[in-house]
Amino acid sequence: MLNGKIAVVTGGTRGIGYAIVRKFLLNGAKVVLFGSRSETVEKALASLAQENPAWEVSGDCPNLSDAAAVADAIEKVREKYGRIDILVNNAGISDSTSIDDYTSEQFEKVMSLNVNAIMNAVIPSVKIMKEQGSGNIINTSSMVSICGQRSGVAYPTSKYAVNGMTWSLARELAPFGIRVNAVAPGITKTDMVANLPEAMIQPLINSIPLRRIGEPDEVADAFVFLASDMASYVTGEILSVDGAMRT
């Protein structure tokens, strides 16, 4: 579904991000994954190479909060491949801090990585995509951007901002052949969730109408669809992948 496409995936070393990278590779894309540290990037690349040495995948670890560093990393991808077809903004941090314990610094930290860092990747990528006359940007939102959560107000606030960014960029960039969408995952079996005790897991499952927790591959499939030509007339969409939990 993605043969010959050049993709950049931030937060691509583990969890949903790693699943996105792997699914893109399975569908014929060439991928550059961004991670927070060189060690995690190397670990992810080694795992992917072990599964299929023929996959064309490389990695980098720019500071996503540093606009110049991100622009430089994006330019290196363009220099290597001549184009960037897909940008996936998946990097981010969750938060469950009670309002009584919040500081302005904590709120700013979440907003910086979950919102500002996306724009740091979008701005240089859009310049490239406009030049080539096409492109595809997919942001990772969250179920809580739609229904909120009981603590950690910065996280749903940041993800609602991601939705607004997605809708607005979709309208602005459509005339240039650039589609912009987002995926809003629900509770997904990442390392953090998998390590929760059964006493916490079962109530979570009971709250999901499909009565199970989602798999990273199931979320990644939504990214593959939105990145592919099957979604050629889909833009400005926030695609929920949450087992109907948001309802």
Distance of CA 230 to the CA centre of its chain: 19
Catalytic residue among 18, 102, 155, 233: 155
| Contact status, residue 118 vs residue 66, Cβ threshold 8 Å | no
- Examine the residue annotation and report whether 155 is marked as an active-site residue of this protein: yes
List residues with catalytic annotation: 155
